[in-house]
A and B are shown apart, each in its own frame.
Chain A
Amino acid sequence: MKHFGWSVWVLVAWVALSVFGQIISIDSTGIEVKHILNGPSWQSWFGYDDLGRSVFNRLLSGSYTSCVVSLTVITISVSVGTIIGTISGYLGGFVDTVIVRIIDIFLAFPGILLAIALAGIMGSGVDNVVIALSIVGWVGFARLARAQTLSIKHREHVLAAEAMGTRRRMIIVRHLIPLISTPIMVEATFGVASVIIAEAGLSFLGLGVQAPDASWGSMIRDGTRYMLIAPHLVLIPGVVLMSVVLSVNLAGDRLRDWMDVKTRFDGNKAN
């Protein structure tokens, strides 16, 4: 933990508050007209929004949304991308050509634009955001997994397994995926950050979470209308979003360093 620094504590707090908010079932939609657009005060540290709803409660609710969306999207993208990429790299030939072409087509299109188009076609809602981001997200992992597979598929242990007549499925699951998991895990941490941003972006455009449910992106969108009179509506979710994304990226960086045996070994020697 110490190795990862403060960023991991921010992430632990993010996940813990998301879960905690759900356990105590905070009221993120309770309206109090007399509190409309009230700024932060001793009674309410984060103030109230344009319908008199507690910004703190909505932040917790939005935190749960971003947590669930990012973890679900990354789980789906990593699983699908790794399997497809490994199969493609290991089998080669026609299968590889077709998969690489499909990956190229996906990569030729800006990811967020494709997600916006998909979310637009499927309609708004958290589930559709998850589907749209997963459709876009698997490609990066597939490419990485394929490249890693190509670099290790001629290693002796794989050739030995093939010579012993091990089935291809077993080779992929036992001898390839465990060896390529390190870079994929590192990539996944960066993926979490981009999904959080993408979800906020889609919600900002009105394609994500639907009112009255909260999401950081939709909170920022709603807040922009009151930038002059109640800047806390944009600043607070903006700073929280930035902190979480920054922490995820920093944690990803540290994870990469930590998992790189050479760097870790050299680092230890230096110490």
Chain B
Amino acid sequence: MRTLFVLSILIAVSACSHPESTSIRFGLANAPISLDPRFATDATSSRINRLLYQRLVDFDDRLRPVPSMATMVRLSDTHYRFHLKKSGRLFDNGSRLTARDVMATYQYVMDRKNASPHRGSLASIKRMEVISDDEIDFFLSRTDSLFPGYLTIGILPKEVIDNNISLDRQSLGSGPFRFVDWPGSGNLVIERRSDKQRVEFIPVKDATVRVLKLLRGEIDLLQNDLPVELVSYLKKKNKFRISGRPGSNFTYLGLNMREPLLQDTNVRKAIAYAIDRKTIIKYLLGSYTRVANAILTPGHWAGYKGGTPYSYKPGTARSLLERAGYNKENPLILEYKTSSDPLRIRIATIIQKQLKEVGIEVRLRSFDWATVYGDIKEGRFQLYSLSWVGIKNPDIFRYVFHSQSIPPRGANRGAYNSLVVDRLIEEADQAENDRQSSILYQEIQKIVLDELPYIPLWYEGQVLITAKSIEDYRLMPDGNYDGLLDVRKQKP
């Protein structure tokens, strides 16, 4: 009995001995949902899948598509050939990645009956042809200047696809990391192929608890999803390395153009002038967050390069409202929907207060994520705020602003309808080169900024907090976890 007791104590103590672990423990706000790149859409899963799988195309610093595991030759406007690179093509099951695996992966995603959420972006692919083990041709149904940028889906072994093996909670990729374990109620563990360094992803929903785990040494590294106050608190502790950089995830205020109240441009502009974005950034979001004017950052090859037309001008907002026929006796009353995330509610409450100061009464409605997202997709809103995460391709303009993209066909949730913007989007798709399409995208963003179907708010900054034992982790602009490729953990 006594031996059993001592043994159980020893087991309990060893279960609590996280701090001496040699694996790098990465704290997450949300657990990944699926490790299958054909179906994963949430940010955490997509970021982890980048480490487990290879893809044909990736993006450079200015977010231009560049070769990843293949080089590309454009044989004609509708014909592209990809040559797979020679080395680093081994799947976890020991087989070699070939053009047949590429074709099987894309055919699966494009097949309507498989209902992959990525199918829409591949609509311009007419057919594929395997030339050899190392070469594959893509034929398009129409010219699409953005085409190579869509080929970012992780490549799976054909055998796995043919045998219909579920990859939701396991992976069989050829990426720089290999899957180790993901027990039912446990943490996902992956291992770097080059030096067998293990990384354990520890999901902890509550930010305070995540920070407490970091303080206790149960987590080595935290990236984003922390209130600015907690970051300042950790700075004062002086026990961690804290760094940051500007990000590219775009937060905006969406307006419903079907609503008679919001059809007047003066009203939309009044809202834009009434929001003091700099104050919100200063007190709630931290110094790495930047004021935004468009979905794409100014650093993007097609990003908006102009100035900030809507700075905080409550006087201008009031006169625009008066011009639109609103005053103290007849105030403008709007409903604003947001998720129940505490930070989103705080931001929405401050925006509500700022709009009230210029005479706009805002009724705030916060719902759980599924409800608010459902309402937004169905067009049941006047104002809402959301973010676009990980946007790289300018095809976002077609998806968000084209009159043919009203849900369920796209994400033009506010039913924005502009013949000029539609025409410019079509022209940009057919453009001969990046320079020409960049000019057209600039024009689209200028018009959108003037007509304001979206009120741009900010690009959320990236913040990284690591234990002193963690070295060489780099923050990426879109918040992905590619920093894990080079990260090292010093032995205690």
Interface residues of A (CB under 8 A from B): 31, 33-34, 36-37, 50-51, 206, 211-212, 222, 224-230
Contacts and interface: CB of A to CB of B under 8 A. Distances in A.
B208 A33 contact: no
Interface in B336-374: 340, 342, 345-346, 349-350, 353, 364, 366
A222 to B, nearest CB: 8
Given A36-B283, A50-B346, A225-B342, A31 B208 contact: no
Q: What 9 pairs across the A-B complex have the smallest Cβ distances?
A: A33-B283, A31-B353, A229-B233, A229-B229, A36-B283, A51-B349, A37-B229, A228-B208, A228-B233
B363 to A, nearest CB: 11
A228 B212 contact: yes
B128 interface: no
Contacts of B211: 228
A6 B114 CA distance: 71
B350 A51 contact: yes
Given A37-B229, A224-B208, A225-B227, 10 more contacts: A31-B349, A31-B350, A33-B279, A50-B342, A212-B364, A226-B229, A228-B212, A229-B229, A229-B230, A229-B232
Interface in B352-400: 353, 364, 366
Contacts of B346: 50-51
A225 B208 contact: yes
Nearest to B276: A33
Contact of A227 (B208, B280, B284, B349): B208
A230 to B, nearest CB: 8
**Interface residues of B toward A: which range?**
20 to 34
Contacts of B364: 211-212
26 contacts: A31-B349, A31-B350, A31-B353, A33-B283, A33-B284, A33-B350, A34-B283, A36-B284, A37-B229, A50-B342, A50-B346, A51-B346, A51-B350, A206-B340, A211-B345, A211-B364, A212-B364, A225-B206, A225-B207, A227-B208, A228-B208, A228-B211, A228-B230, A229-B229, A229-B232, A229-B233
Secondary structure at the A interface, as helix, strand, loop or mixed, is loop
Given A228-B211, A229-B230, A212 B349 contact: yes
Nearest to B233: A229
Contacts of A212: 349, 364
A230 B228 CA distance: 13
A34 B283 CA distance: 7
B15 to A, nearest CB: 25
B371 to A, nearest CB: 12
A31 B283 CA distance: 12
Contacts of A50: 342, 346
A123 to B, nearest CB: 12
B53 to A, nearest CB: 36
A228 B206 CA distance: 12
Contacts of A228: 208, 211-212, 230, 233
A145 to B, nearest CB: 41
A211 B366 contact: yes
